[in-house]
Structure 1
């Protein structure tokens, strides 16, 4: 089991206020910058989770371990295998936002309340994920979407793992007043 990072995440969330601020998470990857607008109105728990994990540097250095063309790119496992997480889980917040290109959604096991740190970004419209996975953001601009699509085109092995590591080099949270 992964080290439980809940206390660090909770401490990092002390100043988060969805009533006063809009939040973006920015990932500097080996393929370029991905800016994600967060949707706390439909998934506040998931938004708080990714903000907290980002603030403690959880995602820095982590690889995109799963890339499936026309489907998703997935990241957030500290082991790079798709089996790890932050040592805790969060409850699902299913909503009606469709899974389409650039949508940020939370990965999980068969248990709807098993999400932790792994997330995926859609490479196209994926209707069978709708209302079964928690959407909590989307790429902020065309440049960010282009980086996600570029990652989605990397060569992979039979297990959908990129042959050459694509990683999040650094990440940050940007809060702007409403």
Structure 2
């Protein structure tokens, strides 16, 4: 019997945490070195020269370039469970604002979502890139998880499906403090409507994602949040009622009737989603 996905995540978490810590430490050293270098320039060249070097006297608007986030994509070897659609750009990624997304399941009413660029710029950039290549169109959501979410974006259905690149976690909710006094109004880490990434190996995200149809509040959150449902949560909740059967690991999470993403589109930064008109039928069966 294959180990459950929860166990796979647990076994891989320690290794990925160490890798992420090393990468974070390297980035902090790089920034400190950059700051020290900048200070040295000011001291050596003098305040007047430094001001000139920083461009205070050169404000030609035509020469101004739009800034943006830099994202790193880790190339993965092509396998039976991967689909090669290239990689997103690495530079000048939008770093603030939101993008609208529209997801249509089977012939149900469409679901619109707001993707959070500010808190997850690289994650949203990847999601947008894949959607622009129709990566998700006509793909099945392979699980209705025990945590209360639709598990989508795994094109092979084996838990390993994804593109030929991965990227690091962004915007993972903070762990619950067990010593904190109980609160009468606790906000769950993943409220109903949350859209979050999931992957067979933590910290190596690809195309797989979750749409929560009920609140989920684990002691140690592990899913990076990329957005939330704006309209159509009732559609996701209706799909969440679909009867499930057991997978190879004995987990009763596989939808008995196919849950199909017929289309998934992402709009421009700052735009508002305009959902298409729903089809006449409202069955979750394909």
Tell me which interval the TM-score lies in, with the shorter structure as reference length. Answer: 0.7 to 0.9
In the superposition, the TM-score normalised over structure 1's length comes to 0.85
| Aligned counterparts of 1:87 and 1:129: Cα–Cα separation in 2 | 32
Structure showing greater relative contact order (alpha-carbon pairs closer than 8 Å, 6 or more residues apart)? 1
CA RMSD of aligned residues (A): 2.4
Show structure 2 runs of 5+ residues with no match.
Answer: 1-78, 175-188, 248-252, 272-286
Q: Which has the larger radius of gyration?
A: 2
- The reply to whether residue 102 of structure 1 matches residue 193 of structure 2 is yes
2:154 aligned counterpart, secondary structure: coil
The 1:22–1:49 alpha-carbon spacing in structure 2 relative to 1, beyond 3 Å, is same
What's 1:137 paired with?
Answer: 227
1:147 lines up with 2:235 in the alignment: yes
Tell me the equivalent position of 2:100. Answer: 24
What is the TM-score of this pair, normalised by structure 2?
A: 0.54
Structure 1: where are the runs of 5+ without partners?
Answer: none
Shift, 1:170, TM fit: 1.3
Point out the more displaced range, 147-156 or 95-104. Answer: 95-104
SS of the equivalent of 2:227 reads strand
Shifted more, 147-156 versus 64-73: the winner is 64-73
Displacement after TM superposition at 1:14 (Å): 9.0
Change (3 A) 1:83 1:156: same
Q: Which residue of 1 aligns with 2:85?
A: 5
Question: Compared with structure 1, are the counterparts of its residues 137 and 129 closer, same or farther at alpha carbon in structure 2 (3 Å cutoff)?
Answer: farther
> 1:61–1:14: structure 2 CA closer, same or farther, 3 Å change rule?
farther
2:142 alignment partner, SS class: strand
How has the CA–CA distance of structure 1 residues 154 and 138 changed in structure 2, closer, same or farther, with 3 Å as cutoff? Answer: same
- State how many pairs are aligned: 171
Q: CA deviation at 1:22?
A: 3.2
